[in-house]
Structure 1
Amino acid sequence: MLAGVSLDYYARLEQGRERRPSDQVLDALARVFHLDAEAAEYLRRLARTRARRCGVDGEDEQVIAHVLRLLDSWDHGPAHVLNRRTDVLAQNALSVALFEG
């Protein structure tokens, strides 16, 4: 509310489902969180990095085939593979259902 964004939009940002936050949203979040100039710039760099497509950065963007097969067969609970920036690279059906709903 303080940043002028809806709870749903903020949740999508936190979960990585919103990939292209505007500069105005990033500035508002930096203001609300009382970030100094260095931290605010780091937030902007993180947001721009997350907006890039998977596979651009290199090896940490690749999910190996046997892990994908494991995810597809895993029906005990939600499971997903994250990279070092917590981008979701792969997920099973239960994870999709949980985080999209």
Structure 2
Amino acid sequence: MAAPHFRYTHYDLKPQRAGTTIEVTLNAVNNVRLMTSVNFQRFTELLDFKYIGGVAKKSPIRLVIPENGHWHLIVDMEGHHGLAESSVKLIVASTTTAGHQQAS
């Protein structure tokens, strides 16, 4: 299996629900790409792939999972001077609506 010719950090986000926010903190400008498992496989095989995100010029950057599924996040240095240090935090979408209370 071929691999991209640039360095990257891979975060396997596992199955996530639509609406979950991914908060990525970086110490330098890098690309941040959120993608499905199929697109991550295509990325690793150097095929065309689709993703959400792009060049992160500020930190933190937030991306929202658009649909339920298994997601991957890539932080990469393609087109930049080096690979940024990064961290990822998941902010799960609330399933309860403000003002509603449980019946007792």
For the superposition of Structure 1 and Structure 2, which TM-score range results when normalised by the shorter chain? Answer: under 0.3
Of the two structures, which has the highest relative contact order with CA contacts closer than 8 Å and spacing of 6 or more? 2
Q: Which has the higher strand share?
A: 2
Q: What TM-score, normalized to structure 1?
A: 0.25
TM-score by length of 2: 0.24
